[in-house]
Structure 1
Amino acid sequence: MSEEAKAYVAGIFDRAAGDYEQVGVDFFGPVGARLALHAQPGERVLDVGCGRGASLFPAAERVGPTGFVHGVDLAPGMVREAGAELERRGVTNARVTLGDAESLDFPDESFDAVQSGLVIFFVPDMPQAAREIARVLRPGGRLALATFAEDREEDQTLQATLRNLLTPYLPPPPPTA
């Protein structure tokens, strides 16, 4: 996908940001809460494609005052909405900035964990995003991601690609409640 196509996708989410995660069936909240179960007190966590913060806020709560969560999103509207919500809630251990999964603007090994909820399938160059995620993870760091999947051949191919690229970084499954 070209930069033009990436800008098109970012534009869609930018325009949707005002209502995104606010209308319809609430599946973002439960997915975000489950995704953030990997975060531990005191850790530095990167939330790739943070949107309005469905997984960012639960992760910030889990890492506590000695940890920090940095959310990045390609859509300026999502960054604006999540940033306003951080301010409204008085959350001081998290921030959001514009960012691209294919070119993360962080030093090597700067995060204990990376999370990405319902985003990875939008990334045009998944191998490049996987390399970037691996680069910013510290040795022994963890990756938690959530994605949609159906039992179609295309979805199975996507699952296999993700598994091959990311398995070395996946955390163990969270305990069931």
Structure 2
Amino acid sequence: MNADTAARVRALVDSASGDLLGYLVRRVSPAEDAADLLGEALLIAWRRRRELPDDPERARMWLFGVARRVLANHHRGVRRRLALAERLHLELAGFAAAQSGDPADSDEGREVRAAVAALPDELRELVMLVHWDGFGIGEAAELLGVNASTARTRYQRARGLLAAALVGEPAVG
């Protein structure tokens, strides 16, 4: 790159950045995003500086075109994030509705949940991974960062504690 191109880019940025920021502020919400978009537009303009027109007015229009495309990308990203959040919200609502008819809402289900909640942390998480999340003991061991034999031993201990809690006996272990 020659010094002339760098000087033209600097002059263009100096003369147009205020107007460019105003253009972006009027088109995004929250307005604080405009500064990030301006930075992105200027970075792209710098990377594509070899395409900068020689005519100062055409160069200004070129820079606004870069900013317009950055703004369009920003709006597409916002729409995608909102759509994803909506899909996730609907999925979670469907999951919660499916769970509402679950026998876990019964007295027995509450009793089991209370017994599981009373387990020590490492046992509770293992039981939840196996019974509520559908992992095998080996997979749960991997997720917990313990070897499979340790997980099997803990699982047996948890079963004993749960059985004792559910029949009202004092727990041993």
The two structures have a TM-score, normalised by structure 1, of: 0.26
Structure number with higher relative contact order (C-alpha < 8 Å, ≥ 6 residues apart): 1
* Structure with the larger strand share: 1
Larger radius of gyration: 2
